[in-house]
Amino acid sequence: MKQFNINKLQNSLRVKFLKSKVNMIAPETIYFSKDTKIGKNVTIEPYVVIGSKVKIGNNVIIKSFSHLENCKIENKVEIGPYARIRPGTTLKEGSKIGNFVEIKKSTLGKKSKVNHLTYIGDTSIGKSVNVGAGTITCNYDGIKKYKTRIKDNVFIGSNSSLVAPITLAENSIVGAGSVITRNVSKKSLALTRSQQLEVKNYKRKSK
């Protein structure tokens, strides 16, 4: 009986959003909450789960296998596929969250992009920021959570670790593969990388 009631609720919510012109591909695979709010011209691809307290603006695209809960999605945002938007997150207008990205208790500024394989937690990100693949915010030391602040127009190279608490000032750049532990000033390049070694004419040991 309980499963029947859940299915009945989901079907009624799907019908409600279809009537309000939400574009759902395979609506039978999409799950909503009773308090889900969705604006105009929104597209939701198959196998998306929308938990409680989610508000979605206009002209939003949510791609397959994404999970959203207790978050605010402003206009013209693109999410997924395979994205997890956790509680306390706001995605500002024109921002983009790509595949295999998790974001928690953070704000992503207008036209900023976090495209792949990244964890963002307890972070404020400004406008027009690019976060490279494999970047993580190291926000937890096992006891306490710490804040990361990334200002406008920052470029973060792939496979970088940002050890909070930390601030990256406007127009700064983090070189790929860096572990950043101190604040980065405006219009500067921060880079931590071991020197590359090369052994000429190297021969592997034979078995």
Clarify whether 67 is annotated catalytic.
no
Cβ neighbours around 63 below 10 Å, total: 21
* Short-list 175, 173, 203, CA closest to 188: 173
Which DSSP category does 28 fall into? G
**Distance separating alpha carbons of residues 47 and 8, to the nearest angstrom:** 18
- 13 phi/psi in degrees, rounded to 5: -70, -40
**Distance separating alpha carbons of residues 187 and 177, to the nearest angstrom:** 19
Point out the catalytic residue in the list 104, 116, 127, 149.
116
Catalytically active residues are 116
